[in-house]
Structure formats: C-alpha cells, structure tokens
Amino acid sequence: MGSVVSNVFQRCGKPAEQEVERHLRANDRPFNLSYNYTNNAITTSKYNIFTFLPLNLFEQFGRLANTYFLFLLLLQLIPQISSLSWFTTAVPLMLVLSITAVKDASDDINRHKSDKQVNNRRVDVLIDGELRSERWMNVQVGDIIKLENNQFVTADLLLLSSSEPLNLVYVETAELDGETNLKVKQALTVTGDLGDSVDALAGFNGEVCCEPPNNRLDKFKGTMTLSGQGYSLDNDKVLLRGCTLRNTEWCFGLVIFGGPDTKLMQNSGKTTLKRTSIDHLMNVLVLSIFGFLAAMCTVMAIGNAIWEVQEGFVFTPFLPREPGINAALSSFLSFWSYVIVLNTVVPISLYVSVEIIRLGNSFYIDWDRKMYYPKSDTPAQARTTTLNEELGQIKYIFSDKTGTLTQNIMTFNKCSINGKSYGELFDFARQRVEITEKTEKVNFEWNKLADPKFSFHDHSLVETVKEGNLEAQAFFRLLALCHTVMPEEKKEGELHYQAQSPDEGALVTAARNFGFVFRSRTPETITVFEMGEKVVYELLAVLDFNNVRKRMSVIVRSPEGKLTLFCKGADTIIFERLHSSCDSLVKVTTQHLNEYAGDGLRTLALAYKDIDKNYMEDWQQRHHEASCAMDGREEMLDELYEEMEKDLMLLGATAVEDKLQDGVPQTIEQLAKADIKIWVLTGDKQETAENIGYSCNMLREDMKKIFIVAANTPEGVKEELQNARREMCPEAADEPTVVLDRAGLFWSRKTETVQDEKVEGDYGLIINGHSLAYALEKDLQLELLRTACMCQTVICCRVTPLQKAQVVQLVKKYKQVITLAIGDGANDVSMIKAAHIGVGISGQEGMQAVLSSDFSFAQFRYLQRLLLVHGRWSYLRMCKFLQYFFYKNFIFTFVHFWYAFFCGFSAQTVYDEWFITLYNLMYTALPILALSLFDQDVNDRWSFQYPQLYTPGQLNLYFSKKAFVRCMLHSAYSSLILFFIPWAAMQDTVRDDGKDIADYQSFALLAQTSLLVVVNTQLCLDTYYWTAVNQFFVWGSLAAYFAITFTMYSNGMFLIFTSSFPFMGTARNSLNQPNVWLTIFLSTLLCILPVVAIRFINLQIRPTINDKVRHKVRKEALPAPAPSRIPARRISTRKSGYAFSHSQGFGELVTSRRFLLKRPLKSRPVLYATTDSPLAQNQPQHYRTITEEPEEAQSR
C-alpha cells in the first residue's frame, strides 16, 4: 500500500515526506507498515490502461508542431476563412498521433512485461513461524527471507546467517558493477548463531536503525539493537538487490530496502526524455518559421486591405461582398486564410517522415551482422529510435573500464624465472609469433589436478619444471603458498578457488597447472601437491598486503624443518629489499618487466629468504607482543615486517593480463582520429586504470607528460590542476573564457560555454576519486574542466556512480557538445542516463546498464562501427532530408506568395487542390525517403579508412541555422523562377492551332509540373549513392504524377465528380505543346545551373574532407580490411602496475582458527569444533574485513 501511495503522490507532483532515517523491526509487519515503506514491487512503466490516452496525448501536444496543426485544424473548421477542406489536416494529424501512440504503447507494454516477470519471481519468506514461497512483489521491509545458491538477491538485505564458515557468503555483483569475480560478505556473529533454525529466526526481533534509501553502492551505515545491545552495521553485512548468491548453500537476510528504495533502483537514475540536437534546432526553426509565416500573412492581409480599397469595388457587381464584410474585416479574414494556404512551410508530413527515417536507420543497426557477437549470440540493438543522427555528432565518450574495455578475466600470460623470460613464441628467425586461438596450447594432461580452462603456449616452461629446475620449482612453489586464496573441493579433484582478487586466482591457478597444486589449508597449515606428491607446510605467519606495503609475505616451515619466507609484490618495492648478490639478475628481470609493462601487463616480483630458526623464535615472540599491544600496534607490526623482509633472493616476476576485449586499442585509435575524446571513469585503483590506459593506447610513452591529481584537500587539488594547466599552456589566462548565450525554445535557456584552449603536444590526466570529489565542487569545476579538456586522455579512478554522472553533466553543461556514455553495470546507469547517448555492453557482465541504455551490443569494438558508419550515415541522411524537405516546401509556398500579387490577395491557391493534397503525401515523399534511408557518401570501409570524415558532424556543418537560411534563400530564388518564367511564357501565348492557352488552369498545370521536375532534379543532384529503389521512386513519382494528372483532368472524372475535378482537358491541351515543355526545361535549367556552378567552384577552391575522400574513392580501389598484425614490441620505463586487489588483505582471516568451521547440518558433520576463538565468544574481531575498505580510511 505504501508503494501505491508514494506512486500516487509522485504522479500527482506531491512528493512524499523526505525520509531521514529508516527504523524497522524484524518479524513485525504491523510496526514496519506504520512507516509506509514501499514494498518490493518495482514499476518502470509510464502508463496504465486509464492514464495512457490522456498522458500520451498531453505529451504529444507538448510538441509545438502538433499544437500548431491542431490550431490549424480548428481554423479550417471556420468556413469564412478556410480555402481547404478540414480533412487535409485532420487525417495526417490523426495518423501522426496514432503512430506515435502505438509506438509508445508498445514500448510501455514491454516495460510492463519486464516488471511483471521480475515482480512474480518466487522467494522463501519467514511468515508466522514458517517459510512460505512468496512473490517478490509481496515481500515487505522487515521480512526475513531465505536465499539459496545461484538465486538472485530479492531486496537489499542485512545478512543474518549462512551455511558457510564464519557466516560468509559469496556474491556475484555483475549487475551492479560489471565485475564477475566473487565478493565476500559476512554476517554479525550474534545473528550468525541463528543458523538455519526457523524457530530461532522467527523469534528474532532485532531492530535496525539505518540511513535512508540512497544510491551509494559502496557505503552503508546503521546499527542493530538486540536484547539491549547495539551492533554496528556496514556495507560488508549487506546483500544488495541485483547480486547473485554463489557457492553458498543458503543464507538468511532481513529486508532493509525494498523495490524502488533498493540501491539498484536508486542507481537507475531519473529517466529523462532524450531529444537530439537536431530536434532542438528544429523546434527553434519551426518557431522562426511560424514568425516568418505570420509576417507573410501580415503582408498578404495588408495587401488585401489596400487592394479592396483601391481595386475591389470594380469587382463587386459580379462578385458582391457578403453582408457586413468591409475592407478591414476582409483583410483580417484573409490573414487567417493565408495561414491555412501557406501552412506547407511546416507540413505535418515532416514529422512523420523524420520518425520513419529514424526507424529505418535503427533497423540497420539491429540487422548489422558486423555488430553481431556469435559467442554470446548477441546482436546490436537500437533500444530507442529517436537518437540515431546524434550518433554522428559525438565529441566526448565516457567509458567504464571493467567489463567495458576489459573482459574482467585475468590470465597468467608471461613470467621471468632466474633471468629467462617465458610465455612468448618465436620462429626460426627469432621473430615474435602472434599467439591466437589457433596456436597450439601446452598439454597439461600429465597433471590430473590441472584446470582445464587454463591455457599457455610456451612449451619450454613445462619442460623446465619437469626437468626439476630448482628455480622454476621454487617460483611456482611460492605462487602456491604466498596468497590468501580459499580452496573449495566439492568433488575429488574439482578445485575451485575463492580469491580476494582475480589476479591472485590467476597466479594460484598457474601454479596448479605447472604441478604445484594448492589443495587445502587450515589456520596452521597449507597443503600443496608438488609434482604429484603431497607436501604439508606449517604456516607460521602471514605478513599481509596493504596499499602502503604493496607486497605480502608468508613464512612457512617445510616437512624437513626448513624455514622460508616467500614474498611477492610491486617490483619497485621488492627490488629495494633484495640482497646485493642479486644485482645482475635484477638488471635482466627489470628488462623483462619493462617489456611486460610495454604490453600492458600487470606484474609482480617474487623473492624468497631462508630464515634462521633462532632468529625466527625471537621474531615470533616480538610479533606476538606487537599484536597484543594496545597503542601503536600497526607501527610496531610494520617495523617487524620491514625487519623480516630484508636481504631477499630474487626468483623472478609474473605478468598477468587484465584481458582487454578484442579490438579495443584499434577502436580507441580510430575514435581519436575522428577527434573524439575518451574519458575513462572507473571504480578501480589508479595502478589498474593506468595499466589499462597503456594497454588501450590511451596513455602512451611518447606523451609529453601524464599528470596525476591525488591531493586530499581542495587547496591541493586546485594547485595540482593549475600547475598542470600552466605547464600545458603557459600563456593561458588564469580565468577561463566563458561565452554566455541563449538557446532552446523562445531562447529561454541560458548557456555557458568554456572555450577550448590550444595545446602543443599530447598530455594525459589521471585523477583519484577523493580528489575528483573536491574538483567537482562549484569553485573548482571549471578549473577541472579546463585542465581535463586540454588533455588527450583523462582517467578518473575510484569514482562513485554519482561522480560518473557529475563528470558527464559538467562536460554537457560547459562544452555544449554531444556526449556518449558506455558501461555494463548498475554503477554505470546514472552516467548512461546523464549523457546524450547511453550505450550498454550486454553479455555475461549483467544487463542493468543495457536496460537503461539507448543502444546496446556485446563488444566495445562495435562502438566504432556504431559511430563512424551508422552514426555518420544517419546524421548525413537526416541533414540532407531536412535541407531538401524545407527547400521543396518553401518553393511550394513561395510560389503562392508571388501569386498573391496577381490574384488580389484573395488566398486563392496557385495549384490544383489535388496537387496540394498529394504533393507531400505522394509526389515528393518516397524519393526523399529513399535518399534518407539508402544514401551514403562513401561505404563503410572508406569510413574506417578516413575517420576524419566524422568531424563535420561534431561541428554541425551539414545542418544549422546558417544552412537553413541558405536553404530559404535558395528556395526564394527557385520560386521566383518557377512563378515568373511560366507566367511570362504563358502570357499572350496561343496553341499551335491558334487557340488561347493563357488561362489559370493551364498556368497552374505548368507551374506545378515545373515545380515537380525541379525538386526531383535537385534530389538527383543531392544523391550520392544510387540504388534500384532510388531510381524506382524518382521515376515512379514523376510517372505517378502524370498518370494521376491525366486521369483527374479527364472528361470522365469531370462528368462523375464535376465539383471535385474542374480541370477538364487541361493536361491534354497543355502538355502536347512544345513551348510548354520548353518552359519546363528552361525553368529547370535556371533553377539547377546556379547550384551546379556554386558546388563546382567550392569543390575547386574550398573542398571539404568529404569532397577529398569521394575524389579519392573514384580514383582508387576499395581499401582492403586492415590486416591483423603482430603488435610492435613496446618497451616501457614506467613503474609497472602490480597485480593485487584494491583492498587490504585478509591474512588474519585465513589464519583464524574458525574460518573453515561449517555450520552443523543434517547431512554434513562438523569439521572443527573449536569454540575458543574471539568470534565464538562474541569478542571484538581484529582481522580485516574481506571487502574493500573505503579509500578515505586507507589514506588516514
């Protein structure tokens, strides 16, 4: 009921009272319903059966043109001023409204179906002491629900208990952030003790007080009160709607937020009606045309008044005025009569045609096989049909990283062991061989525990390990021991690793395949199968990873009693702690690391150290004392870690690939050539984002400088931004140049545009999330925008979903350019909705972004085809259509204007009424539709060959206010020719047989025939790409005109419908005269010749990029598809990124004495019965949590 009430308030424009704090009680529906919290039903539809007609008509008549045509229809119902029948406007208007309504209804029905499918999913809810299967929509805040493995999380839940050790659950968050690696959540111990006991859970009456609904995916604050005791709640204890439960048999959760209040739905953002820049321009032009129409009608009305006074009395004997009508009233009525006659300057068919063209171009995207991804059977999809031409005007692209640029798959790619690099293949000439899917893979069948999905191509590494090479075996032994991965083996030999980061999982899997299989662990031991033999190591200490140390170590005792420290970390950190005897090996390994960094790989250096037994005992004692210290514990532990991790012996380095989607670097290179700027907005840490920047060729070694903004204060951020700007452009003014202007309908919207500043050379900018938060504040945002827009590449790290949207809105507001946002997770939805165009990546990473997008496809590389081919063609076609449409209708209307001076300003039409009716409906509709659907200046291969062809769209060169004025002037000139040449030719003219031909009907036929020939010839000049359809429509429309004209002007039609077809015999009497055809030819020549001449002169003097490429197309053969080439080896001297998770490690968790404890089940015995851990006794838990810690906390 609360949902209904809130929805009603929302629809009525009276928002419900703002929620400040949420208070709920478990298993107490009456208490929770008193707060009117929304239930779990979601509604994404706009209409219902009762509101559809009024709301849809209200929206449609919100368009200025539809309101205008309705007004016109009302005028035509007044006999005194109407010279045209009312149905000439009513039928097209009803057609337009009906087509749009059907389209809107179809879209909304699909939304209803989607909502119904989600709302009717089933989940077990604890009601009245028993579990009942309920629909999602019936779940209420405060309910306790049970989830099972692979189920979607129903609502935002407080995790109460689970089947896993330490009350952990594993969730996949692909729908939220596009990441497919599992995240770990953990319940409070006090609720974890409830287990799966229905009676205990039914008796649970904890009260939760927490933050109100919001869209922050990474934060949650609240407290739970149980039996008078308060417990702190954070994001680690909450399961969000949109996640999927994985590798967890069951869990119970308390519903905190339901339906529209969930963070998933809160991140969906406000759905706004997106209109293209051409739509906005058309609104302004239509308004201008209305003003021009009113001016013309005023001139006609004044002319009518003058004519009535000076000449009208001569005609009153045989054309008497109606009673009560004088010259003034006649002038007033003629004004409205001319509004009807001249209304063709804005014909209603314009909007019908625009929708048809957009629909057709949308189908091209849907049908494009080159944007179809067969692996996931995913075609490209135009989810909206109103934004196609905007794809040809994109200036800024805002992209997510994980799942958009990358596949979110980490692969063990290369390694360096004892100075030798492995992982590359060479031919006999020692040239690198490209590794493809067809390249022979290493056969791991000798290892029964190998992961069948793991692939490696360098056979020499396997042979080295098999030969018993001590360094190689030590290398993989380190990878099998030095980590915090948790193994899961449900069946014998089927190992599944739960890793804190996908990097660690890739390294442990690599060790597994090369014969060092991490099999199991207890808090004190690690069991590894080394080349088939079981070896149990005693785990003495874990020196955990954090963002300051940038390394982790383990100290183990082998079965022989040998003590060893194994360490892995960032190469710069490890090299500082090596023994001097490793200097020569460091040089070789550094060279390998630079090569790996040049390939964009994420690297780690590996080292070990043998430890003396006596020293270890002393160190352990001091470590224990430091761990128990109340003050300065972290500093004391860090000193001990530093002391231990000295004089290490280097083993080598690993290189893990954060696998890019296919074709990403090439796509980014093409888009950069098209002068499109790409900004990456990612939640990842700086090192990861920087690595991907180099892999994608967004960041390059040849850039002049890459600026990093990472200050923690507003003053520091401002200083770093200003220093970067001054270095790039020393002569730039301190204050930005902001141009104030007005735009929009009635010029009511103020715009501020920050001017671009020229910079010599390419620069890059990397900014952290906490710095970005300060930079987006009002007094710093222009400084951020100036500095960022000077750079070729901008990467924003650790950003929240809200910050992504803010960055997009900042560029939209101050650059007045078209933006596109592309992403794949719920954290990208607000960005996708904020941009002019939203693109969703569909596939395994989740569908939340796709559902909110305007276009979707499966791979980032398809973006270049969407923009450079479909977008450019759509923009070109729409601009040609508008120019031609306004041209042909202005000619048509201006001829009426000139004719008014010869008919006493009486609002008489110059053309036959049937020609007026069919001109836009039949004679000129299909040829321009064919051009607008099939025309292309160059084909898709040439479009890829010359991405620079895209730039005119960014500058609005093909259709703008200036182009519209030129079109009007061209139409005015042509209309003068089309009226006065036939008028002069027909005056005092006789037929071959001496009979008179100078009559109104013959003149009307000559004028309309000349008009139709001219506009079709102009269309032929504008057509670049001829197809059979174009030919058929052009010649067919002319043939249809003559066929219909001869039929309507025949004796038979006159005899049957005398009043409707008065032009009897006009066609056969006029069109058999040579001078009539000569007049048509002369009119056409005089209209077309200046156009041809001007275009020829421009082609010679000021050729556009389009002209140059089309000239090249005629001279050269079709370019072949770009050959796949082996990427050139790029050596990098930058500090390579290290392959660790963002967050602090959970070494203390894996050494917890209870981390493997399984809850007692009927079918599963207790593995360990220890009850002396802090958790069991509900004491403070000192180990670090699994999910990532907010960066603000880490920086303190």
**Residues with active-site annotation:** 400
Using the structure block, give the residue that is written with the tokens 């809160």.
266
Using the structure block, give the residue that is written with the tokens 């497919």.
180
Q: d(Cα 817, Cα 622) in Å, to the nearest integer?
A: 62
Percent of residues in the chain assigned helix, strand, coil, to nearest 5: 45, 20, 35
Could you give the angle at the alpha carbon of 539 between the alpha carbons of 523 and 650, nearest 5°? 140
Q: d(Cα 241, Cα 153) in Å, to the nearest integer?
A: 5
- Contact of 826 with 175, CB cutoff 8 Å: yes
Q: d(Cα 66, Cα 58) in Å, to the nearest integer?
A: 11
- Residue 953, classed as helix, strand or coil, is helix
Q: d(Cα 636, Cα 642) in Å, to the nearest integer?
A: 10
- Contact of 854 with 387, CB cutoff 8 Å: yes
Q: What backbone phi and psi angles, to 5 degrees, belong to 504?
A: -60, -40
CA distances (Å), origin 99, targets 93, 299, 357, 448 = 10, 37, 14, 64
For residue 480, give the H/E element and its range.
helix 470-481
Helix ranges (H only) for 629-685 are 633-644, 664-673
Strand 381-382 with 122-127, pairing: unpaired
Q: d(Cα 1067, Cα 1186) in Å, to the nearest integer?
A: 87
Backbone dihedral region for residue 1081 (phi beyond 0: left; psi -120 to 50: alpha; all else: beta):
alpha
Q: d(Cα 990, Cα 938) in Å, to the nearest integer?
A: 50
Residue 52: count other Cβ atoms within 10 Å of its Cβ: 16
Q: What is the distance, to the nearest Å, from the Cα of residue 707 to the centroid of all Cα atoms in its chain?
A: 26
Burial 824-845 (b: 16+ CB within 10 A, else e): bbbbbbbbbbbbbbbbbbbbbb
Q: d(Cα 1081, Cα 1013) in Å, to the nearest integer?
A: 9
Cβ-in-10-Å burial (0-12, 13-18, 19+) of 310 comes to: exposed
- Name the nearest CA neighbour of 903 among 74, 83, 76, 73: 83
Q: What backbone phi and psi angles, to 5 degrees, belong to 836?
A: -60, -40
- Residue 284, classed as helix, strand or coil, is helix
For residue 233, give the H/E element and its range.
strand 229-233
Across the strands, what pairs with 123? 134
Q: d(Cα 1133, Cα 195) in Å, to the nearest integer?
A: 54
Q: d(Cα 626, Cα 640) in Å, to the nearest integer?
A: 9
- Contact of 239 with 156, CB cutoff 8 Å: yes
- Name the nearest CA neighbour of 840 among 183, 380, 200, 347: 380
DSSP 8-state assignment for residue 988: T
For residue 333, give the H/E element and its range.
helix 327-341
Q: d(Cα 690, Cα 700) in Å, to the nearest integer?
A: 11
Residue 168: count other Cβ atoms within 10 Å of its Cβ: 22
- Residue 754, classed as helix, strand or coil, is strand
For residue 207, give the H/E element and its range.
strand 207-210
Tokens of 1184: 């670090």
Amino acid at 1149: L
